[in-house]
Structure formats: structure tokens, C-alpha cells
Structure 1
């Protein structure tokens, strides 16, 4: 009996550890929305608008980027990592003409894509903080969100569930959008924080700037913000999780100092607000109403930023009036609504545009006007997760994904958390342009992760390339493809071939380690271009 009890405890402990490290996922979706071809009408309209702008401003656009460069952009934006040598070989083996489209289709079926996009979007929905104890489960929320993205659930449906969901935060993970704002003092979610986040994330409006007083430069009034917050005023939390109650939203009057009840009302287009349902369901349907232009425009602007590293309209959460918006944003938003709020289709459309596939360099120096006018692909610093994802993938010739051995995935997860913590998380303002720091450079030069992924071990890419490549020239080419997703120039190849020439055994292994270290610490590696 003691032996059976001991075995039971061991099995129970193992199950608990598994549940902690690998939260449950929904079953693989049996029906995933398929992608229709991008209509021949929309894409030329987008390209035509940019070309007209370049002509009017006298800008000479860059040439089309190399196909491997475009592949690198796509994988960094969707998986947070560079393509593996295995993926590059498979990509180049496909017939020319449809390689990028076919690779995109494969990435949409890849759990890495939905996991990475879930994390990026979650920063907008629930922030990066750990949230209140017991009533908030960020990892559970991420798992649920990843499942929705993998199934390509219509984006308007997803957002309506976030705003209006009821239940327990573990059983109904969408309610974590509400519970992350839970205030232990009042034992209620924070209605004002929810209002501010709803306006910024889903409408592209900084309505919370009018929280304390009327906005000095925008038409928003304090009453607009309070009216939006009032939709969340009835939300309560109890044994059955998040539920709407009969309480009212009250604020302290600046004139009388007394609590006053605020009736819910939307800041614009009040005629779109439904008359039936709970307050939050009314708000959810108003936000996502096909006639509410802010919702698709804010979504398109955010997806554009995820792909380019820079929003089409900045700041990303403060859209100007329609008269000041670029027509291409309106065109893409209208198409997004017309095709059922299909996120994957929107990504495919943006990737297919001429501006996404432009090179980041031109003959001579790139001017500020060319950068601002999208006549070149904007060079942006990689996020910490992309840096660590790239370093880890560059250390392996095979793709590191959900099909990799569990120990490799576990090591990657631990390595990512430690690296991002040391490198510095960008937080919620992830599109805020910042400069690199000395500690970041030191972490790349002397950190344990880079050392671990370049050292002479049996399965590291540096060791395998050095020992298996038939010639020095092949070693240099494969190393460049593995780390920088491109082939070396003749000058680069000649330089490194000279360094490798005639080396054998431990000397060659050390040269390859130094070679991979140098490529990982090249400025080119840490930027999207």
C-alpha cells in the first residue's frame, strides 16, 4: 500500500508539473476558415495609392527586396523568430512565383504563429502585468487567444466575447480581459481602466485622456469617458465568476463633491448602440458594428504595425479624423469588414502589397522623406522576443517548433524568459521607438544564451556546419543563411573562407564558434530590414 501511495504521489506530482508548464489547449479546431485569394481589385488599389504618393512627393521607391529578406520579415512578424535553414531549403525548393503565399499558408497552420500573435495582441488587451492573485490567469488567456487565432475566428466575434463574456476566468478565459483590472479594495473590476483599454485597443481612441477633464485638443469630453466606463459599472465578481449586477456606475462630482450616477452612453454614433441585451453586450455590438469605422481602422493599423514594426498612422492608438487618414487605411478597413473580419486574409493582403516587399536600401542614403513616405521598407529594431527567438533558432539547423522534442521546447521557454528579463521587456508601448542600450549589447556579446547557442556541442549549428559542409565556401554560405537568412557577398565569403582555410579539429570548431558569434552580434541581426 505504501508503494502504491508513493507511485500515486509521483504520478500526481508529474501531472501537476505538466499542467503548470503546459496549460491545456483546446482540441485542434476541426473547422478552420479557409483563405480565399486576395481579390485582384483591392491589391492594385493599395499599390496605386502609394505610387501616386511617391510621384506627388518626388520620391524614388526602393527596388523589390530579395525573396529571402521578405521571408525573414514574415517569420519575424508572425513567429517571433528567423526562418531555420530547414525552412529556407524547403522554401527555395518550391516553384518560383508562389513561394511566399505558400509559406504564409503554412505559417497560419503553425502553432508558433498563433502563440506569438496571441502574446502581441494580449499586450494590448490585458497588458503585461501579472494581474490580481487568484482571479486572473494570463497564461490561460494566452492559450485561449492562440486557439482562436489558429482557427481564424472572425475578429469581431473574438472582441465581442472579450468585452461581454461571463463566467470564471479559468473556464471562460475571455473574462480575463475583465478580471485583470480587478480591484481588491472594491472587490470589483476597474470600470475606468476597462473603458480606457477598450477605447485604445479596439477603437484607436485615447478617450482616457478625458478621464479627469475635457480633452484640450480632441472633441472628447469627460462625460464621454464616464459614459463609456458606465457600461462596465455593473460588472461584479463572485463564486460564479464575472457577472453583471444591478449596481450603477458612480463618480464624484467635481462641483458638489457628491457621488453621482452616470448613465452609459457611447462617445459617437449613438444610433448604432443596440437597445437589447446587457450593457456590456450592447457595448460589444456597438464597438464591432460594421458601420462603426473606428474598429476596422484601428485593427488594420495595428496589424500593419505588427508586420512592419511601425504603424501606418501614428500613434497607433490615437487615430485622427477621417479627413486626415490615408485613403489606403480606409480602403483596407473597408475590405476587412467586407470579408468577415478575417485576420489571416488581412495579413496576406498586406504582405502582398508592393510597399511590404520593398527593399530597405536604395542607391545612396535613404532620406527621411523616403522613410516617412513608405518608399523603402522601414528599418526597425527587433523586439526582445524576436532577438531571443532568432538566437535560439540560429543555434539549430532544424526548425524549433511545437513538434520539437519536449526538452528542447522547455529549454527554449526558460531561455526566452531569462533573456527577455535581462534584455528589457518593452511592455505595452511596444511600438515606441527606443535606442539600444549598453547592457543589451553586453548581453549579446557575453550572455549565456549566445554562448550556449554558438559553443562546440554535438547538435549546435556551428559544430554541424563546420564538420558537415564539404568546403569552406559552403560553410560560410550555410552560416550566413542560418543566422542572417541571406547568402554572403563575394567579399564576405572571401574574408571568412580565408579564416577557415586549412583548419581542422578543435581549431576549426573554435573558428566556427567565433564565426557564428560574430554573425549574431552583427548589427544586421538585431534589426528588421
Structure 2
């Protein structure tokens, strides 16, 4: 599904010519702020050396006109992006840099009018930089990503891509191709067409009556005739169109990135070879991970590397030239494992006892003790499963009965460590208590076809349990995988009480969907059986030991929760290449062999030397999903919203005193709660700011990056500050000595005594005689400390 990555997009009638016309004035008008603001900066620089009242009035006029035109240009740009087929990261950067320029231009004008010349000149420089950045990315949109770099020394020139020699392996071959080479060549060609042409020339959208997603239709051509002449690339319309100069009205693709020189050369080579396309079903364009389980051989042990996980990681380290580091100290380890297993900070006494323990297996003992704390474990992991299963306590659908709460079932399942195969079985073939997941949300009013409850069930089961994205294929054939619209509807039809009609891009096709599993190797659904029977069959098929996909997905999710990054990333894209296929396969196989026991899986990970390595800081979260990612230890993480709230509650004062949600739970659950855990309260601005999703869509991971909303909430939020104030009042009554308060607060929050510099600052805040305001300031400072907010 083509998704515009614009936060500021808005619906407009695409057929209304006036919006399209005004939008296309954007490139014309955008040159006004570029030119005028740049000239204003040049004149300002001259005026700095040579004062002139005449120049000053001219500069002022230029800034005024440039600011106004930048506003108009940005507005028309928003119209354009919503009317035309623009998409991708370049568009996003261009859009936001343009909006930032508008803001900077407004601030520049305000500073000029107020007479703050130094601030005005600084802002003008920033505005021109913003205009230049926006203009650069605008040029990349219209002229290609190599608009500037193509003319630099070392590049092969500018203009249309060459159809000459290339480094592509196929193009260097002599003689006829083998059957295998033909198959590989065709996959490469289809991949180029899929990434560059399917958005306009496929079953979803067929411009010029041309489709490029099917052998017969490629050879047939479009309304202007054939697009290729087998054996003669120089006479083929396809090659002519993709090598036309940028700006030509017939150039293809019409927008966005041009085909690279190698891609053009490969298409030319393919046509020269006669445009071969093997008969029979097309080989998948995208990687599809193996479905069946696999047990790889465990690498040999060494003196200090004996645990299976560590042995796989050690082999990986050797291949990637990564050195083992020493394990973290006891204080770091106990805090890390407490937060990961029960979501709470260890008490000062627990830390001191653990550090004084001399037993060689004390870390294994600690993990077993924490995993045996069933209530605390359930209260913590409830958050993860609530996110993944869209379970919440309030929100869309609850008032009208269009949504089902499953908290009690989920809590008991976690507390009792229900085997994962039964956990999944009860989600797919549910009782009344566990029906919320596949029931989905019955939205009020008119919705699109892809949000029918049956399609929601298909999408959510595929995503959460199989690490598979069906959202695009719920609207049209996917552009990011080989899944088709028919596949998505056939799977959704398994959940339906009546046969579904297929809708393509929300338009009825008149074609009824079939009924089948996504992976036919798992079994065949009884097409005409009642819904309940079909769901039982589906559950039985999915939880089979031979469904390696199901078990790889869950062990990857648990690894990601404990290590900060999955073996496969993103965790919802299990067809991506894992950084260690052997480790993933072994963990999944071992998980099944050990009775589908999530706690045994966690124990193996938590007691591994790999888990105990020092954490790794990552400045750019995008680096975690690059194909070149190399694992070298746990990724440093920020406390989740619930972990942070519970840490504050334990260290200083309870954040949540309203137990309305807790009171709705069974008494056995309510009695086990020491204080109102944040996982059990309804969402509020505080938790939202710290990252809790609204749970109207599946959320299987949360960002660990700090943001402005979080900073504002921790600075000015009423929920947080009122809790700190209550806590400060309690500490003042409890401890009359500033020294005792400072020492105990550090131990409660950070698990250590304050450092000398920290004591000096804390004394200044608290005062010789403790005050409520002083204690509150100290507590606030501690909660913002990286040691408090991060899992090291």
C-alpha cells in the first residue's frame, strides 16, 4: 500500500482541478523566498560593513516579501503533496525543512521589527540555510537523488543514465544463460520493475493500460503498443523512456528517483537476451523466511563460553571480528534484571545483599527468584501484551460494546505462565474472556473495507503471531512483499461469518474471497464449516511444532524486549535477514522442546553471558534496522512509561492513587498489588507523553528515544509534579536530617550512595533544614538522571 509519510497530510478531492492547479504553482512560487531571502542576507552582510538607511529599508522589504512568499509556498506545497503521487523520505525531509523555514522566517521578521539586530541576523542566516536545505531536497524530488553529486569529479557525468557497460554480473556474461541464470535474471528484472514501476503499472493502478507485474502483460505492452523488442534494447520503448533526460514529458518514472545506471544496464541486458521469463509460477521477489523448524548444531564450547546462546554469539563474534567484553558489575546486573523481569527497581537491601553474596551462581539464583514472583511478573509483562494484543481499559469501542476487554484472562495467563501454544490457541479460538484480540474494534460510522473486523483479525494475527505485514495487501497487492490482495481476503474470510467480497482500494470488485491459511503447508481449512470450527482448526494448525514461523516470532520478540533489538528487526518483519539465523532457529527449536515455556526462554537469555555484556548506546535508532547492523551487546534502553512511573512510586511517592481499574479485577489479583502499578491504570497524558500507545492498533515495540513531549511532561506535567510534591512532604516528615534524606533518596532511586559532587549539589537544594520544595527539587533532579531513566 502506498503510504504518504506526511504528518501534515489532509484529505482533498483529487478530482477538483483547482486544488491540483494551485498545488502545481508551488515550484514557481517557492523561488521567491529562495531568491529574496538570500539577497536580503547578502545585503545584510554588506550593511554590516557599510551602514546605509537606504539599504536597511530595502532589506526590510525583502524580508517581508520573502516571509510571506515562504508561507504561500509551503501552503501550496501541502496542496501539491496531497494531490500528486509523491512519497518517500525525500518528500518528508523537503516538507519539514520547508515548514521549519516558514517558522524561522516568521521569527526573523519578528526579531527585525523588535530591533534585536544580533538575533535577527542569526535567524536570517538560519532561514537561508533552511531555504537552501528545502530547495536541495525539492531538486532531488524533481531531478533525482544525484542532482548535485552527478557532476562532481569521480562520477560518470550527468544527464540520462547510460546503457553502456556495467558492473552487474549478468552484463559481463558471454554466451547463452543457463536455466538458473535466466531465473535469477528475471527475478532481478521483476524486482526493478516492482520498486520503480508498480505504483503506476500494476493491478492496483494501470496508467496507459500498461501493466508490468505479469509476463503476458509486459510483453503485450500498453495503449501505445509494445514496450520492448526482444533482442534489441536500443529499439525498445522501455529503454528509451527510462533514459530520457530529466524533465522530458515522456520520461519514466515521471516522479521521484530515476533508475540507476546499473538498473538500466540490467534491463538492457535482459532485453538483449530476448527478454526471457520462465514459464510457471513466478519466483518470489522478496525474501521469505523458512517456515519449518530447524535445529542447528551448537558451536563448540570454550573454557569460559559454555552456554548455548553464548556459543552461538561467540561464533558470530569471530565471524564479525567483535571481541567479548567483561560482564557488568553486580549493581548494574541486578537493576537490569529486576526491570526486565518484574518491571521494578530493586530495593537498597536487595542490592546490598546481592553484592555481598559470594556464591558463584548467584545471578542464576536471582533470575529464578524473580521469575517465581508470579504476580509482579504478570503485572510487568501485562504492558507488553496489552500493546501487542490491543487490550486497554478505556477508549474506542468500549462504550458501544464494539470491543472486548481481556485483562483478566491475560493477567491469569501470565501469572500461571500458560504455555505459549495454549496462549495462542485461546487467542485464535477464544472463550468469552479471551475474544478481544480477534474481535478487534467495531468502529462507529463508515469505515474502509480494510478495517472490517474480519480483516483486523487477519492483520493482527499475521502481525503479532507470525511477524507478517498484511496491511498493504488488505487494500491491494503489496508493494513491499509478495502477498496479494486475494491472500489477505482469503485469510480474513477464515474469521468471517459470511463470505467476504474483495475490495480493491476500497472499491468492490464483485469477486468473493476464498478461505485458506497464509501458509498452505500448515493445513487446509474446512471452507464451509461454521466459524467456531474454522477457528479451532486455525488454532490447531498455527500452534503445530512444524510452524517454525510462530515460534521464531515469539522468541525474537522476547529477545528484543530483553536486549533492546531483535535478532530480526523490525520484529514485525520476520522475513528480514536475522543477524544470526542459527541463534534464532536454535532458540525457537529449544522453546518448543521445553514445553513452550516463556519463563524458561527468559531464564536462558537472562543468565547468558551475552545478556550480561555492557549495554551499547545508539544515537540514531535508524542504525538498529540497517542491513549492516552488527550485534555487540544489549542496546541501552529508556524505561518504559510504566517502568518509570513504578520506579518513581517505589522511590519517592505513588504516582497513581486511583485504583478504579484495579478494583475491576478479581480480588485475588487486587490483593497481590502492593501499590497501583502503572500497567493497571488507564492511559493519561503522563503515560502518553512517556510512550504508552493508545492501543487502537497493534504496537509491538516502543521508541526508546527521548522527545519534546516527554521533556515537557516531566517539567510541567501535573501528574508527575503532584506526586513529587506528595513524596517530598512525606520524606520531610519521615526524615528530619538532610544528610539522611539525600543518602536514602540516592539509594532508593539509583541503588548507590551519592558521589561527593552530588552531595554538594543536593545539600544546596535540600538545605540544612529540609524543606518540601528543596526535597522536591532534588527528587526531580534524580528522576532526570540518566542512571534513573536508562537501563544500562
Does 1:482 pair with 2:748?
yes
Paired with 1:114 and 1:205, the residues of 2 have a C-alpha distance of 27
Summarize deviations over 1:439-469 as a string: whole Å, max 9, x none: 42233234445544544868845765x5479
**CA contact 2:475–2:505 (8 Å) conserved in 1:** no
The equivalent residue for 2:477 is 214
Call closer, same or farther: CA 1:376–1:476 in 2, change over 3 Å: farther
1:113 to 370, 377, 400: 377
Does 1:82 pair with 2:345?
yes
- Taking the TM superposition and a 5 Å limit, the aligned residue runs for 1:191-230 are 191-230=454-493
Call closer, same or farther: CA 1:193–1:354 in 2, change over 3 Å: same
1:389 shift after superposition: 1.8
SS at match of 1:289: coil
The equivalent residue for 2:173 is none
- Taking the TM superposition and a 5 Å limit, the aligned residue runs for 1:9-88 are 44-88=307-351
1:184 shift after superposition: 5.5
The equivalent residue for 2:707 is 437
Paired with 2:768 and 2:360, the residues of 1 have a C-alpha distance of 43
**CA contact 2:742–2:762 (8 Å) conserved in 1:** no
2:418 to 116, 134, 153: 153
Paired with 1:257 and 1:415, the residues of 2 have a C-alpha distance of 39
The equivalent residue for 1:30 is none
Paired with 1:528 and 1:321, the residues of 2 have a C-alpha distance of 27
Does 1:165 pair with 2:435?
no
Give unmatched runs, 5+ long, in structure 1: 1-39, 167-171, 235-246, 363-367
1:116 shift after superposition: 2.5
Paired with 1:231 and 1:174, the residues of 2 have a C-alpha distance of 18
Paired with 1:162 and 1:283, the residues of 2 have a C-alpha distance of 11
Does 1:395 pair with 2:661?
no
Paired with 1:63 and 1:320, the residues of 2 have a C-alpha distance of 33
Paired with 2:729 and 2:524, the residues of 1 have a C-alpha distance of 59
Summarize deviations over 1:201-230 as a string: whole Å, max 9, x none: 001111333223333342322222122111
Bigger drift between 275-284 and 147-156 goes to 275-284
The equivalent residue for 1:18 is none
Paired with 1:269 and 1:344, the residues of 2 have a C-alpha distance of 31
**CA contact 1:82–1:390 (8 Å) conserved in 2:** yes
Call closer, same or farther: CA 1:265–1:526 in 2, change over 3 Å: same
Paired with 2:474 and 2:707, the residues of 1 have a C-alpha distance of 35
The equivalent residue for 2:494 is 231
**CA contact 1:500–1:508 (8 Å) conserved in 2:** no
Larger Rg: 2
Question: How many matched pairs?
Answer: 458
Paired with 2:410 and 2:689, the residues of 1 have a C-alpha distance of 27
1:59 shift after superposition: 2.0
Paired with 1:351 and 1:375, the residues of 2 have a C-alpha distance of 16
Paired with 2:578 and 2:684, the residues of 1 have a C-alpha distance of 44
1:278 shift after superposition: 1.2
Call closer, same or farther: CA 1:463–1:46 in 2, change over 3 Å: farther
The equivalent residue for 1:409 is 676
The equivalent residue for 1:425 is 692
Paired with 1:457 and 1:504, the residues of 2 have a C-alpha distance of 17
The equivalent residue for 2:514 is 263
Call closer, same or farther: CA 1:483–1:197 in 2, change over 3 Å: same
The equivalent residue for 1:297 is 552
Paired with 2:452 and 2:587, the residues of 1 have a C-alpha distance of 35
Summarize deviations over 1:322-380 as a string: whole Å, max 9, x none: 78862111110001111111011111111112221111269xxxxx79x9433232112
Does 1:341 pair with 2:608?
no
Using the size of structure 2 for normalisation, the TM-score is 0.51
1:95 shift after superposition: 5.4
Paired with 1:327 and 1:270, the residues of 2 have a C-alpha distance of 23
SS at match of 2:435: helix
**CA contact 1:463–1:509 (8 Å) conserved in 2:** no
Call closer, same or farther: CA 1:349–1:372 in 2, change over 3 Å: same
